[in-house]
A = this chain, B = another copy of it.
Amino acid sequence: MSHSSSDRIVSALRERIMAAPVGAQLPSTRQLVAQFEASPVTVQKALRTLIRQGVIESRPGVGTFVRAVRTARPNDYGWQTAALGSPQHRIPSLSSALRATPNDVIALHSGYPDGELLPERLVRAAFTRAARSADTVSRPPVAGLPELQSWFASELAAIMPAGLTPPAARDVVILPGSQSGLSTLFRTLVGAGRPLLIESPSYWGAMLAAAQVGVQLVPIPSGPGGPDPDDLDRAFAQTGARAFYGQPNFANPTGGQWSAELGDAVLGIVREHGAFLVEDNWAHDFGITTDAAPVAARDDSGHVIYIRSLTKSVSPSVRVAGLIARGPARDRILADTQAQAMYVSTVLQAVAVDVVTQPAWRTHLRSLRQQLAARRDLLADALREHAPAAHLESLPRGGLNLWLRLPDGTGLHRLVSDCEAQGVVVAAGDDWFPAEPAGPYLRLNYSGPNPGAFPEAAEVLGRALADAAPRPGT
């Protein structure tokens, strides 16, 4: 290592400064020149460095003094810009769906259900039981606790038609939440620079994971009824993609659900193209007027990779998801999840399996369905009355969100900030489009706190929409 003589002086002076009391005066530049046998320019440079480092301060005409250290000072991390370079893949900033907000606003932006929709008593009891057990200090098998693997497999097996081979417990990989599963799937099934077909609009977390891996997103238009199979078939043929990410049940954000015929058609297409359907069954427990009907239940050929998360329906603190994959894909996925996270906390897995195997879990799901129905209808009715310009294309049969088309030309960002200024937080639809948005949309989540305020929120939105309406000639 070569050190300049100015570095040498900095280093020597720092040692003295650290030993000196705050406010002590440093020798003059002339004295330092003599002591270090260096030029005045070099000494001045060293002093400037120490001033920049915040350890001394210069009082013009008086001298140089030791500063009170350990105070926060602005460090210069500019060197990191070169070391970091441009990111290989640019990760978008955090979605508004994850934003924390004060308690006194009406929050319609969040992606997570309010505590009153969670089985809190069951979760606490399960944590209490786990706290008394050896789960607190034990390490699970890397693929997951066998009883939780079995539960995920049996849930899918229960709705499979006879004649198809149900998944085995060993086909299940337990993950620390579905987000890490999406990263793993896009990395193992697709890979950087390669195409992934995705519904548009679709879940922003999937686009975040795709950006992290650097896959090339190919948007397939989708709505309340799901995508058009011909679009999908054409996109597979044109891009050579080997995977399609979709949410066949209560899609986020549209609330759409694929019909059984569409599910079969999509299955036929992925089979024909030797490809995978990544089925994100995020809203399995959030059916309202119908149940979730996973496409995975109609496949035993390994074409559907299925993820079901318990984070949203059990508790955000129980970050556990199950991924079902068969064949060599399962092995490659398991290897990646291990390299990524090693394994999932035994306690969280034990709590998850405890909660979902209680008889009271079924009771909770029935009550949840009623609450979601009431909340959905309350918000939809209030919007119809107070914000008729916000068009609800389809009342969702499940899920947590209303997806509203606003009039063409609506100033979306002004609308969102106008609402927020009046205490109503809403999410601009742009976040859910893999490319340019198809128009101005809003996503309103009806599972947040304080549903009693939905009418008030609809009024605020109605007024803001009137203000944000496109003027003639603009």
Contacts and interface: CB of A to CB of B under 8 A. Distances in A.
Interface string A80-98: 1111110110010110001
Interface string A256-291: 000000000100110010111000000000000000
A457 to B, nearest CB: 21
B211 A339 contact: yes
A106 to B, nearest CB: 18
A125 B91 CA distance: 39
A420 interface: no
A342 B345 CA distance: 16
Copies of this chain assembled into the complex: 2
Interface stretch (A35-43, A116-124, A383-391, A429-437): A116-124
A177 B75 contact: no
Given A94-B142, A127-B136, A327-B75, A163 B339 contact: no
Interface size, A (range):
35 or more
A348 interface: yes
Given A69-B162, A83-B242, A136-B124, A319 B345 contact: yes
Contacts of A362: none
A80 B302 contact: yes
Contacts of A187: 88, 212
A70 B124 contact: no
A135 B317 contact: yes
A469 interface: no
A332 B87 contact: yes
A468 interface: no
Contacts of A301: 75-77, 79
A212 B80 contact: no
Given A128-B131, A136-B123, A139-B316, A179 B69 contact: no
A338 interface: yes
B136 A317 contact: yes
Interface stretch (A26-34, A188-196, A216-224, A399-407): A188-196
A50 to B, nearest CB: 10
B316 A346 contact: yes
Contacts of A81: 328
A142 B332 CA distance: 29
Interface string A105-119: 000000010010010
The 8 lowest CB-CB distance pairs between A and B, nearest first, are A77-B327, A127-B131, A212-B339, A139-B316, A18-B163, A128-B131, A77-B302, A88-B191
5 contacts: A54-B165, A70-B163, A82-B274, A94-B142, A120-B137
